[in-house]
């Protein structure tokens, strides 16, 4: 299929449809309301369901209900809205339901701002809601990857029967880029007869299904948590995705960066190369599961003297980087999160300061 020029938010909406998701519930919030404005037109053409809920709290449970009934479903929001949805996300994880959440991150905390940020890394990767659960989190670095990851998110949500998050940022949502859509996702959700509340009449077994998260018996609750843990372990083994940029050189510094920030770092790396300074970048595409082994190995290359995590936050992913580097190299951090994105020149200055 030929490339088309699309705004990130609209491309995410289109990607969901092409992934076979015909159900979308959302509440307006800047900077991602274009997803809803796009889907309110597109979903009726596909015979799908569009509903604007009364709050992100309610939308979280509309998603839970639809997912529990075994239908593909997505919502999109931005940081404060994801905070409100986090209650439902915890329940959805506990009840083993597949659903896709897109967070077009804006600056925080509180109302923060409406400009791009990566300040929700902790929320996305370490919890957000209560209890022992994780989201599978993917972080696109542009519109093309946002499309590919959104489509993949449905496959992974169904593979692991759990919530998957796309963590973009305001820039990815708002910018236009040429994008090529992969082939439509043809697969149907598997095994849903075994767990979804799709109505007993509609299943061969005629046995009823329960979608729930209450386990008053301590052994049963522990077992449910062990089942979740086993899924996260499998994700760590099968779903780690990352890119190592300029990694085949004798780089002296390793940058870790993701999403929009990684694009600026890429430019800085290219500019430094022209000066004869080799720097590499490890870009996690999955923030959970985190590319632990890849970060360690890239940091431990003989030529590499230091690691620096560069983020549009006050220092969040850097904690995972430190964990993975295990003290083998110094780990530095640079970040801004008011909404301005650090320039390549700024990154170059920072890198040179490490040499």
Partner 1 sequence: MGKTFTTPKALSKNHTHYCPGCTHGIVHRLVAEAIDDLGIQGKTVGIAPVGCAVLAYNYFDCDFQEAAHGRAPAMATGIKRVRPDLMVFTYQGDGDLASIGMGEIIHAANRGEKFTTIFINNAIYGMTGGQMAPTTMGGQRATTAPAGRDTADTGMPIRMANLLAELVTPGYITRQAVLKPQQVNKTKKAIKQAFQYQMENRCFSFVEVVSTCPTNWGLTPLDALKWAEDTLLPYYELGDFKVPE
- CB closer to partner 1 out of 225 and 246: 225
Residue 61 interacts with partner 1 (CB under 8 A)? yes
Phi, psi of 230 (to 5 degrees): -65, -35
Piece of the chain touching partner 1 by CB under 8 A; list 9-17, 170-178, 182-190, 209-217: 209-217
Single out the segment in contact with partner 1 by CB under 8 A; choices: 27-35, 65-73, 184-192, 241-249.
65-73
- Measured in degrees and rounded to the nearest 5, phi and psi for residue 91 equal -65, -40
User: With contacts defined by CB under 8 A, how many residues of the chain interact with partner 1?
Assistant: 40
Q: Which residues pair with 163 in a beta bridge?
A: 99
66 lies in the site for partner 1, by CB under 8 A: yes
- Among 17, 19, 43, 63, indicate the residue that binds partner 1 (CB under 8 A): 63
Shortest reach from residue 57's CB to partner 1, in Å? 7
Which residues 211-230 are close enough to bind partner 1 by CB under 8 A?
A: 211-214
User: Does 154 engage in binding with partner 1 (CB under 8 A)?
Assistant: no
How many Å apart are CA 84 and CA 96, to the nearest integer? 20
Phi/psi at 269 (nearest 5 deg)? -65, -40
Choose, by CB under 8 A, the member of 40, 49, 114, 277 that binds partner 1.
Answer: 49
CA 257 from centroid of its chain's CA atoms: 14
Spatial contact of 125 and 165, defined as CB atoms under 8 Å apart: no
Give the C-alpha separation, 254 to 300, whole Å. 10
Cβ proximity to partner 1, 198 vs 225, nearer residue: 198
From the CB of residue 292, how many other CB atoms can be counted at a distance below 10 Å? Answer: 17
Of 97, 59, 51, 50, the closest CA to residue 80 belongs to 59
Q: Which span (69-77, 141-149, 158-166, 177-185) binds partner 1, by CB under 8 A?
A: 69-77
Q: Does 19 bind partner 1 (CB under 8 A)?
A: no
Q: Choose one: 45-53, 107-115, 137-145, 155-163; the region binding partner 1 (CB under 8 A).
A: 45-53
Q: Which of residues 126-145 bind partner 1 (CB under 8 A)?
A: none
Residue 62 binding partner 1, by CB under 8 A? yes
Q: How far is the CB of 71 from partner 1 (least distance, A)?
A: 4
Write out the H or E segment, with its range, that includes residue 310.
strand 306-311
The interface with partner 1 within residues 170-199 (CB under 8 A) comprises 197-199
Site for partner 1 in 243-282 (CB under 8 A): none
Residue 91 engages partner 1 in binding (rule: CB under 8 A): yes
**What are the φ and ψ backbone dihedral angles of 50, each rounded to 5 degrees?**
-120, 130
Q: Would you count residue 71 as binding partner 1 (CB under 8 A)?
A: yes
Identify any residues that bridge with 244 across adjacent strands, giving them in sequence order: 282
Tokens 């959970």 correspond to 288
Q: Are 53 and 73 in contact (CB under 8 A)?
A: no
Tokens of 87: 């209650």
Is residue 209 near partner 1 by the rule CB under 8 A? yes
CA distance linking residue 238 with residue 218, whole number of Å: 30
Q: Which residues bind partner 1 (CB under 8 A)?
A: 23, 25, 49, 51, 53-55, 57-69, 71, 73, 87-88, 91, 95, 197-202, 206, 208-214
């Amino acid at each position: 299929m030929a490339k088309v020029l699309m705004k990130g938010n609209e491309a995410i909406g289109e990607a969901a449809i092409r992934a076979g998701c015909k159900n979308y519930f959302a509440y307006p919030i800047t900077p991602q309301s274009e997803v809803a404005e796009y889907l309110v037109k597109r979903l009726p053409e596909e015979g799908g369901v569009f509903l604007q809920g009364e709050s992100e709290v309610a939308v979280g449970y509309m998603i839970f209900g639809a997912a529990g009934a075994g239908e593909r479903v997505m919502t999109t929001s931005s940081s404060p809205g994801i905070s409100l949805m986090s209650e439902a996300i915890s329940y959805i994880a506990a009840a083993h339901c597949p659903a896709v959440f897109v967070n077009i991150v804006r600056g925080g905390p509180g109302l923060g701002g409406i400009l791009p940020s990566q300040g929700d890394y902790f929320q996305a990767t370490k919890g957000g809601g209560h209890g022992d659960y994780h989201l599978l989190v993917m972080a696109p670095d542009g519109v093309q990857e946002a499309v590919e990851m959104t489509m993949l998110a449905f496959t992974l949500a169904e593979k692991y029967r759990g919530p998957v998050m796309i963590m973009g940022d305001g820039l990815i949502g708002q910018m236009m880029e040429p994008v090529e859509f992969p082939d439509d996702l043809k697969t149907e959700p598997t095994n849903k007869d075994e767990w979804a509340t799709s109505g007993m009449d509609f299943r061969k077994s005629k046995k009823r299904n329960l979608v729930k998260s209450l386990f008053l018996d301590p052994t049963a609750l522990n077992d449910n948590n062990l089942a979740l843990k086993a899924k996260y372990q499998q994700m760590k083994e099968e779903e780690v995705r990352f890119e190592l940029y300029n990694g085949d050189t004798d780089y002296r510094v390793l940058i870790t960066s993701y999403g929009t920030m990684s694009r600026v770092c890429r430019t800085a790396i290219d500019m430094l190369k022209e000066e004869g300074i080799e720097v590499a970048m490890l870009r996690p595409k999955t923030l959970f599961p985190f590319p632990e082994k890849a970060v360690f190995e890239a940091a431990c290359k003989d030529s590499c003297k230091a690691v620096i995590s560069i983020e549009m936050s006050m220092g969040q992913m850097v904690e995972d980087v430190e964990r993975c580097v295990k003290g083998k190299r110094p780990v530095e951090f640079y970040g801004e999160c008011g909404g301005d994105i650090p320039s390549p020149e700024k990154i170059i200055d920072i890198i040179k300061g490490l040499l």
